[in-house]
Amino acid sequence: MPDGVNLSRRSLFRGRLSPTEPKVQLPWSVSWADFVADCTRCGDCLVACPEQILVKGDGGFPTVDFLRGECTFCTDCVTACQAPIFRPTTQAPWDYVAHIEAGCLASAQVFCQRCQDSCELQAIRFSPQLGRVPTPSVDSELCNGCGACVADCPVGSIRIGVRHGDAPTGSKR
């Protein structure tokens, strides 16, 4: 998409007056309404991210793309930003965890534990099942929502979403 396209005008024609809230906001970011109101879309956070997981989302606002890698919670995006769109880094970065969806290879009786292997915190564990391949579960108390497991899943059945609730949806606070 060309940089010169006015996405806010396009959203207006689609009946949306503001950019769609992403499924995952930047770590330590304020509520979406406050973020959109104060973010200048300068791109400093995108450049500062050593993992290169921050991308331009709807309306040019930065968002996280876990298909590019994991968040290491380095705080570089917060430090690079001049706008008041971040909470103190002494607080938890966000309230997201991994969710394993129905397309997981284990549900098709295919042995795969790549997500467990990529989880440094060991928040994803596989439980043995008699006569079946082990099935994964996420310990939401251990999972920090870093997204390391997302890009590593060969079938794309892991999503990062809100800690509480069944579906990985936007970051309603």
Q: Tell whether residue 146 is among the known ligand binding residues.
A: yes
User: 7: Cβ–Cβ under 8 A, 6 or more apart, which residues?
Assistant: 19, 58, 59, 60
Check the annotation: does 115 bind a ligand. Answer: no
Query: Is 112 annotated in some ligand binding site?
Result: no
Q: How far apart are CA 103 and CA 87, in angstroms?
A: 35
The answer to whether the annotation marks 104 as part of a ligand binding site is no
Q: Is 77 annotated as a binding residue?
A: yes
119 marked among binding-site residues: no
> What residues are designated binding site?
39, 42, 45, 49, 71, 74, 77, 81, 143, 146, 149, 153
> What residues are designated binding site for [4Fe-4S] cluster?
39, 42, 45, 49, 71, 74, 77, 81, 143, 146, 149, 153
